[in-house]
Structure 1
Amino acid sequence: MISPTSDLGSKLALDTKGLGDLKQSARAGSPEALKTAATQFEAMFINMMMKSMRDATPQDGVLDNQQTKMFTSMLDQQMSQNLAKRGVGLADVLIRQLGAQAVNAQALAIGGDQNVPTSTAMPAPQGAGTLMTTPGALPKPSTSSMPALNGSGRPQAPHVASFQQKLGADAEAASKVTGIPAKFMLGQAALESGWGKREIKNADGSASHNLFGIKAGPGWKGKVATAATTEYVGGVPQTRVEKFRAYDSYADGFKDYARLISTNPRYEKVLASAGDASSFAHGLQKAGYATDPLYAAKLSRIITHSLA
């Protein structure tokens, strides 16, 4: 069956039924609707140019009246439609621009730079975890030139792909210790740090390499970074200044996170539910990793929709 938007260019520019079909297809988000809408915009642009030329031409002849002006205007609209159907290049530019924005906007909306609070992860004793299997581990880097797809089957946003590529190896190493899929830990690091854009900084402005918002408790003997964080008390957000652990590298940060999750008894159920993104996220929230009441929902969405 032919799409109702595919032959709109051959109809009258004022065909309300055709425009109604275009609106209906646009709501469905079809590529054909995007192409036709861009063509309609191109037609409108051409019509504006023709109208400007008409206005610059004297129209006070013997045969000129309101009726002739009306039909001339209708003729110009239809000519604009026909010219736009052949294309002058503007519609192609719009399609490329709007298509790219739609992909990036959806990726950001699902798992991008959100205004999420830093967690209240409690420090854990030092120690090594147990080697476990790693279901759902990150795929090996592909040699294909095709862009990576996120969990929704759409091309990944550039900042998401860069974050995953940069930290993938460190997440894999932590996965071998905890048994938690690397993708799950990357999602948590992304949520806590806003995809690295809101990483906790040292006093001199350098990176603390703490992507998980792990606080520096009394037993922490390493470096410390002080930063403001949002905590939820009774469901109400409050801004506080807290001390957080600082590391020499992101690899050290992932290693410490692995020790925290694998050796602290409060996270036993989190490890037991590491095979499912939703169970993992809700397990962290129930264990008190963060005070944000929407923490589990945000984390699940990032893991399942943003990461490859």
Structure 2
Amino acid sequence: MISQTDLSNTAAYDVKGMDGLRQSAKSRDPAALKEAATQFEAMFINMMMKSMRDATPQDGVLDSQQSKMYTSMLDQQTSQNLAKRGTGLADVLMRQLSNTTQFSAEDAAASPRASSMASALAAFRQQQAAATGSTESTGAADGKSLSDKANASQAPHVRAFQEKLGVHAEEASRATGIPAKFMLGQAALETGWGKREIISRDGSSSHNLFGIKASADWKGKVVDAVTTEYVNGKAQRKVEKFRAYDSYADSFKDYAQLITTNKRYEKVLANAGDASSFAHGLQKAGYATDPNYAAKLTKIIKGSLVG
């Protein structure tokens, strides 16, 4: 029998913990359903805290991208602790679930249209948005994750890419404030929708989704790969060293750290609310040498992805 996963005593951003919750929810144990409802409540609280942070001036002498990242992590954990005590939302979700017996907690999280839990959560979020007048949208703002939003109207390879990496993009979004859709689009551009991933000599994936090179201060694994660089507008093929990760989740985490701690990307974060501004900010900051990088990224974000 699968043991109950209690996330109340772990970090709110612990991906392994969330995976454990999904596994325990498969047992259809009422306690597991309760834990899933509590996590939805924590997500909702965190969304409200993020809205309040955004409405508060953050241009003091002690404010920086690093402080914002750690503040975001603190807010996530605070949301976890408040949800553990309970605000009433989890109880409402559980009452909604009690009206149906054919879905497990995992079904409820993955199929919002058939889920009373997701419907109730969406209703609460709509009420909060109406009360604050906020039009902000994140990857899961309407009760659906990016992977849930992938639909049949998309090309199969686009839908598969979004479903595979959507959850990691949303996690990075909570740490950086960059819309998950933007990061997913950049990963798609860098890897050709996953078809041109950087591969190690033994044929294994480097899991490097953002083409981040291994600088002198990089202490992790590396892999050599041929890349195209533009020098004075002319394309040149070079062999460069790139960072290698154990998982796609690690790739998103490292990207988030790079964007939030490197001063050259400060203006990128400041303009992360618009796809075109975000893409042009990356190019201006020197993220890529391709003169058409911003145009390509903007086209992918606006034309291929949903969210």
Say what the alpha-carbon RMSD is for the aligned residues.
2.6
- Aligned pairs for 1:36-185 (under 5 A) are 129-131=69-71, 135-139=136-140, 140-141=144-145, 148=151, 155-185=153-183
The TM-score with structure 1 as length reference comes to: 0.54
1:184–1:131 distance in 2 versus 1, CA, 3 Å: farther
Structure-2 residue corresponding to 1:293: 291
Structure-2 residue corresponding to 1:267: 265
Residue of structure 2 aligned with 1:191, choices 189, 192, 197: 189
Once residues 284 and 294 of structure 2 are traced to their aligned partners in structure 1, the CA distance between those partners, rounded to angstroms, is 9
Structure-1 residue corresponding to 2:305: 307
The alpha carbon displacement at 1:136 in A equals 3.7
Q: Note the residue ranges of structure 2 that are not aligned, 5 or more in a row.
A: 1-65, 76-134
Once residues 249 and 306 of structure 1 are traced to their aligned partners in structure 2, the CA distance between those partners, rounded to angstroms, is 24
Once residues 197 and 189 of structure 1 are traced to their aligned partners in structure 2, the CA distance between those partners, rounded to angstroms, is 11
Task: Number of aligned residue pairs: give it.
Answer: 177
Once residues 202 and 164 of structure 1 are traced to their aligned partners in structure 2, the CA distance between those partners, rounded to angstroms, is 24
**Amino acid of the structure 2 residue aligned with 1:286:** K
Q: Note the residue ranges of structure 1 that are not aligned, 5 or more in a row.
A: 1-125, 150-154
Percent identity over paired residues: 68
Structure-2 residue corresponding to 1:75: none
The alpha carbon displacement at 1:137 in A equals 2.3
Q: Which runs of 4+ in 1 moved over 3 A?
A: 130-136, 141-144
Given that 2:229 and 2:238 are in contact with CA atoms closer than 8 Å, whether structure 1 keeps it comes out as: yes
Residue of structure 2 aligned with 1:237, choices 227, 230, 235: 235
Once residues 301 and 156 of structure 2 are traced to their aligned partners in structure 1, the CA distance between those partners, rounded to angstroms, is 16
The alpha carbon displacement at 1:157 in A equals 0.5
1:156–1:218 distance in 2 versus 1, CA, 3 Å: same
Once residues 286 and 216 of structure 2 are traced to their aligned partners in structure 1, the CA distance between those partners, rounded to angstroms, is 18
Once residues 249 and 147 of structure 1 are traced to their aligned partners in structure 2, the CA distance between those partners, rounded to angstroms, is 22
Once residues 179 and 147 of structure 2 are traced to their aligned partners in structure 1, the CA distance between those partners, rounded to angstroms, is 22
Structure with greater Cα Rg: 1
More helix by share: 2
Given that 2:169 and 2:183 are in contact with CA atoms closer than 8 Å, whether structure 1 keeps it comes out as: yes
Residue of structure 2 aligned with 1:256, choices 254, 257, 260: 254
Once residues 189 and 135 of structure 1 are traced to their aligned partners in structure 2, the CA distance between those partners, rounded to angstroms, is 23
**Amino acid of the structure 2 residue aligned with 1:148:** N
The alpha carbon displacement at 1:129 in A equals 2.6
Once residues 254 and 169 of structure 2 are traced to their aligned partners in structure 1, the CA distance between those partners, rounded to angstroms, is 12
The TM-score with structure 2 as length reference comes to: 0.54
Q: Alpha-carbon deviations, 1:4-42, whole Å to 9, x = none? A: xxxxxxxxxxxxxxxxxxxxxxxxxxxxxxxxxxxxxxx
Q: Alpha-carbon deviations, 1:274-298, whole Å to 9, x = none? A: 0000000000000000000000000
1:169–1:230 distance in 2 versus 1, CA, 3 Å: same
**Amino acid of the structure 2 residue aligned with 1:257:** Y
